[in-house]
């Protein structure tokens, strides 16, 4: 059976802990590979390699570091189809969506190509007599990233792109459920000219995550995953003196005002709710029509669209979505459907019991639709992370605005309307970090930054964009004086001021 090993100092390094995890083929339900799970000693080896490489990498001028990023972008494009196939075979998302996963990461690499400009500091000439002040952004040293299963290409690149371009060395701990693409990305970075040791991949579970959070050489940790773990990781890392940014789960709402173009809205909602089998932190699993007439019309059109969905293996070009990632995750989603029925929501379409002919053991689920879901239900408050769409009916704009605002998660939200005034007010008042106006999945482009509010994000700097550069650097401010000579003044015992 294929084994997936660590990537340290530019080489594949066989796991020595004796612990392994199963990597499934979600289409067939069978184990397709074993991944080594690292111990703290194996992490030490990766960190030592990173620390050694970082000192020289930080001295490489920013334009040369950017050239590595340009070459990596070219290699990503050249290898796009192979990477997408590998990604899809472990995650289960359809190939077109796997390409999107890689492409969105590639866009952060493109942003990172501009690092010479992004690292420029500020300068004030003549801040005092003969005094000039300038600031510089310097890398932190060795930094780490811990990533979730659902974007095995994009999210590692959100992190290591800016971090490495800024002059840091990086230790990546990808999800143990689909670990192959992150290793391939690291190999391509070396092929692009990155010195060995600047990017290392260490596989593992809780054990190695805790070791990362306590490691004295690691200066900052970027995490993306579910909220309870994000909060724990944030607290433990901070306790050990690290700079932390931890993105968590989500429950994004799509508000549908009575004047919305319903056909377009349904097309957007269906793609955002069921694409990637709902396993996206920016999925749209809750739709909030305003008014009974809007709700009834929307429900009818959603049903037509749901009944036309095609579920297939991830390599089927005609499939809208493929299997979910694991049997355990499938069982968890099915359990939420059961709870939804028990707590009184109306199950209009039930995706349980779906079997794809020839792939009966694959982790497939049909689409589910709940109507008359209310804000007090567990299935509304929790993140389900599967192909399950919930309709929560609201009587007014104000009620619709309050639903996402009062929800514990605050990642993304969308409003569908033709009314600019209402959309503007919604965007201004809603308590959510990323807002779409007639845009169902408002993931900011690479030169803005990504981050949710409330339980969707812990820490104050977001992912990629200028926040990514700030997260992976620290600012030094130099105040310099080059006196012309002449008389030396009195000793000054008071703090210098600009008076
Ligand atoms: P997860 O929280 O199970 O795992 C994330 C990472 O944490 C993995 O690398 C995993 O190995 C590690 N981990 C797991 N259990 C741990 C523990 N007890 N202690 C320490 N580390 C642990 O998340 P997942 O299932 O891989 O991904 C799905 C989740 O990620 C969803 O909640 C989704 O909303 C969220 N997500 C958020 C964003 C965002 O930017 N806000 C983006 C993508 C996914």
d(CA 340, CA 19): 38
User: Burial of 443 by CB count in 10 Å (0-12 exposed, 13-18 middle, 19+ buried)?
Assistant: middle
Residue 291 in domain: yes
- Asked if 141 and 112 touch (Cβ cutoff 8 Å), the reply is no
Give the pLDDT confidence score for residue 434 in this predicted structure: 98
Q: Specify the 3-state DSSP secondary structure of 483.
A: coil
Q: Is 156 in the pocket of ligand 1 (CB under 6 A)?
A: no
- Residue 382 Cβ < 6 Å to ligand 1: no
Whether the Cβ atoms of residue 246 and residue 234 lie closer than 8 Å to each other: yes
CB-CB contact of 81 with 131 (8 Å): no
pLDDT above 80: residue 64? yes
Mean pLDDT of 105-130: 96
Domain assignment of residue 88, yes or no: yes
Of residues 84, 72, 90, 80, the one with CA closest to residue 25: 90
Calpha distance 246→231 (Å, rounded):
7
CB count within 10 Å of CB 378 equals: 11
pLDDT digit string, tens, across residues 15-43 = 999 999 999 999 999 999 999 999 999 99
Ligand 1 center from residue 430 Cα (angstroms) = 26
User: Quick check: 356 and 312 in contact, CB under 8 A?
Assistant: yes
| 350-403 pLDDT per residue, tens | 999 999 999 999 999 999 999 999 999 999 999 999 999 999 999 999 999 999
Q: Are residues 274 and 141 in the same domain?
A: no
Residue with tokens 């690291």: 186
Q: Is the CB of 409 under 6 A from ligand 1?
A: no
Residue 155: the pLDDT is: 98
17 lies in the same domain as 55: yes
Q: Who contacts 233 (Cβ-Cβ below 8 Å, separation ≥6)?
A: 146, 209, 213, 221, 223, 225, 244, 246
In a domain, 192, yes or no: yes
44: containing domain: 2-248+456-478
Give, rounded to a whole angstrom, the gap between the first and last alpha carbons of the chain.
Answer: 74
Please report the sign of the dihedral spanned by the C-alpha atoms of residue 80, residue 86, residue 89, residue 91: negative
Residue 485 covered by a domain? no
Identify whether 281 is a catalytic site residue: yes
**45's tokens:** 């080896």
Mark whether 272 and 408 lie in a shared domain.
yes
Q: Residue 385, SS3?
A: coil
Distance (Å, whole) CA 130 – CA 261: 64
| Domain shared by 305 and 290, yes or no | yes
Test site for ligand 1: of 226, 330, 450, most ligand atoms within 8 A of the Cβ = 226
Domain-embedded: residue 443: no
Assign 496 a pLDDT band (cuts: 50, 70, 90): confident
In a domain, residue 483? The reply is no
CB of 225 closer than 6 angstroms to any ligand 1 atom: yes
CATH code where residue 176 lies: 3.40.605.10
Q: Which residues contact 357 (CB under 8 A, 6 or more apart)?
A: none
Q: Are 10 and 198 in contact (CB under 8 A)?
A: no
Pair 63, 167: CB distance under 8 Å: no
Verify that 315 and 206 share a domain, yes or no. no
Mean pLDDT value of segment 244-258:
98
Secondary-structure percent of the chain, ordered helix, strand, coil, rounded to 5: 40, 20, 40
Q: Which atom of ligand 1 is nearest to the CA of 173?
A: 9
Claim to verify: residue 279 and residue 237 sit in the same structural domain: no
pLDDT band at 497 (very low <50, low <70, confident <90, very high): confident
Is 139 part of any domain?
A: yes
Ligand 1 centroid to Cα of residue 248, in Å, is: 7
Q: Which atom of ligand 1 is nearest to the CA of 151?
A: 43
Kindly report the backbone phi and psi dihedral angles of residue 90, in degrees, each rounded to the nearest multiple of 5, phi listed first. -100, -30
Residues in the chain, overall count: 499
Contact 89, 40 (CB under 8 A): no
In 3D space, the residue among 368, 416, 374 whose CA is nearest the CA of residue 392 turns out to be 374
Q: How many domains does the chain have?
A: 2
For the segment 329-336, the average pLDDT, to the nearest whole number, is 98
Residue 121 is assigned to a structural domain of this protein? yes
- Closest residue to atom 7 of ligand 1, CA basis: 225
DSSP one-letter code for 122: -
Same domain, 22 and 157: yes
CA 1 to chain centre: 30
Is the predicted pLDDT of residue 484 greater than 90, yes or no?
A: no
Tell me, in angstroms, the distance from the centre of ligand 1 to residue 37's CA: 16
Report the distance separating Cα 103 and Cα 186, nearest Å: 16
Q: Whose CA is nearest to atom 30 of ligand 1?
A: 225
At 499 the pLDDT is: 74
Please give the structure tokens belonging to residue 497: 């001021």
Looking at the structure, tell me whether residues 213 and 267 fall in a common domain: no
How far is Cα 311 from Cα 4, in angstroms, rounded to an integer?
A: 29
pLDDT over threshold 80, residue 489: no
Specify whether 240 is located in the same domain as 318: no
262-274 and 292-307 are packed helices; what angle lies between their axes, rounded to 10 degrees?
A: 60
- pLDDT of 129: 87
Of 40, 8, 34, 9, nearest to 176 by C-alpha is 34
Q: What is the pLDDT of residue 220?
A: 98
pLDDT on residue 491: 77
415 and 467, same domain (yes or no): no
Please name the residue ranges forming H helices in 412-499: 420-429, 465-471
Atom of ligand 1 nearest to the CA of 457: 41
pLDDT tens, residue by residue, 194-211: 999 999 999 999 999 999
Residue 99 CB-density burial (10 A; 0-12 exposed, 13-18 middle, 19+ buried): buried
Average pLDDT, the chain: 97
CATH of the domain at 365: 3.40.309.10
- For the Cβ of 410 lying below 6 angstroms from any atom of ligand 1, the answer is no
| 414-423 pLDDT per residue, tens | 999 999 999 9
SS3 for 388? strand
Same domain, 184 and 53: yes
| Tokens found for residue 236 | 């433990």
Residue 224 belongs to what H/E stretch? strand 218-224
CA of 180 to the centre of ligand 1 (A): 17
Helix, coil or strand: residue 8 = strand
Secondary structure letter of residue 317 according to DSSP = T
In the chain, % of residues over pLDDT 90: 96
Pair (158, 63) in one structural domain:
yes
For residue 228, how far is its CA from the centre of ligand 1 (angstroms)? 9
Contact 152 CB / ligand 1 (< 6 Å): no
For residue 455, the model assigns a pLDDT of 98
**pTM of the predicted model, to two decimals?**
0.97
pLDDT tops 80 at residue 492: no
pLDDT at 71: 98
Pairing of strands 346-349, 286-289: unpaired
CA 247 to ligand 1 centroid distance, Å: 9
Summarised one tens digit per residue, pLDDT across range 65-107 is 999 999 999 999 999 999 999 999 999 999 999 999 999 999 9
Nearest to residue 224, comparing CAs of 247, 250, 203? Answer: 247
């Amino acid at each position: 059976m294929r084994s997936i090993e660590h990537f340290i100092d530019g080489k594949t390094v066989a796991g020595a802990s004796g612990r392994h995890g199963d990597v499934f083929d979600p289409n067939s339900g069978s184990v397709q590979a074993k991944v080594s799970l690292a111990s703290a000693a194996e992490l030490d080896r990766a960190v030592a390699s990173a620390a050694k490489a970082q000192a020289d990498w930080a001295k490489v001028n920013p334009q040369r570091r950017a050239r590595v990023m340009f070459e990596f972008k070219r290699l990503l494009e050249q290898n796009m189809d192979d990477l997408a196939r590998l990604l899809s075979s472990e995650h289960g998302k359809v190939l077109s969506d796997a390409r999107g996963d890689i492409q969105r990461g590639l866009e952060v690499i493109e942003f990172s190509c501009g690092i010479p400009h992004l690292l420029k500091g500020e300068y004030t000439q003549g801040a005092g007599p003969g005094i000039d002040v300038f600031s510089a952004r310097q890398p932190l040293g060795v930094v780490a990233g811990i990533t979730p299963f659902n974007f095995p290409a994009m999210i590692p690149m959100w992190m290591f792109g800016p971090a490495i371009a800024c002059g840091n060395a990086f230790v990546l701990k990808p999800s143990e459920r689909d670990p192959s693409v992150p290793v391939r990305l690291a190999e391509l970075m070396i092929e692009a000219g990155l010195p060995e040791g600047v990017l290392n991949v260490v596989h593992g579970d809780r054990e190695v995550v805790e070791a990362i959070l306590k490691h004295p050489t690691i200066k900052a940790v970027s995490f993306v995953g579910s909220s309870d773990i994000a909060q724990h990781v944030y607290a433990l890392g901070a306790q050990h003196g690290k700079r932390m940014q931890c993105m968590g789960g989500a429950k994004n709402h799509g508000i549908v005002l009575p004047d919305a173009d319903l056909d377009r809205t349904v097309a957007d909602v269906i793609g955002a709710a069921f694409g990637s089998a709902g396993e996206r932190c920016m999925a749209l699993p809750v739709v909030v029509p305003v008014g009974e007439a809007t709700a009834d019309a929307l429900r009818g059109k959603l049903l037509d669209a749901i009944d036309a969905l095609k579920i297939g293996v991830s390599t089927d070009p005609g499939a809208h979505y493929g299997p979910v990632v694991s049997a355990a995750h499938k069982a968890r989603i099915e359990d939420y459907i059961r709870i939804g029925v028990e707590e009184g929501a109306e199950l209009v379409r039930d995706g349980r019991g779906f079997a794809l002919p020839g792939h009966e053991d694959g982790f497939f689920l049909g689409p589910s639709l709940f109507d008359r879901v209310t804000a007090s239900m567990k299935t509304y408050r929790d993140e389900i992370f599967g192909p399950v769409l919930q309709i929560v009916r609201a009587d007014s704009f104000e009620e619709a605005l309050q639903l996402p605002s009062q929800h514990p998660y605050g990642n993304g939200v969308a409003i569908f309307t033709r009314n600019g005034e209402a959309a503007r007010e919604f965007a201004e008042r809603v308590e959510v970090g990323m807002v779409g106006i007639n845009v169902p999945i408002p993931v900011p482009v690479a030169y803005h930054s990504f981050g949710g509010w409330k339980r969707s994000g812990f820490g104050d700097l977001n992912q990629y964009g200028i926040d990514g550069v700030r997260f992976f650097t620290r600012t030094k401010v130099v105040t310099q004086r080059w006196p012309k000579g002449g008389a030396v003044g009195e000793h000054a015992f008071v703090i210098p001021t600009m008076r």
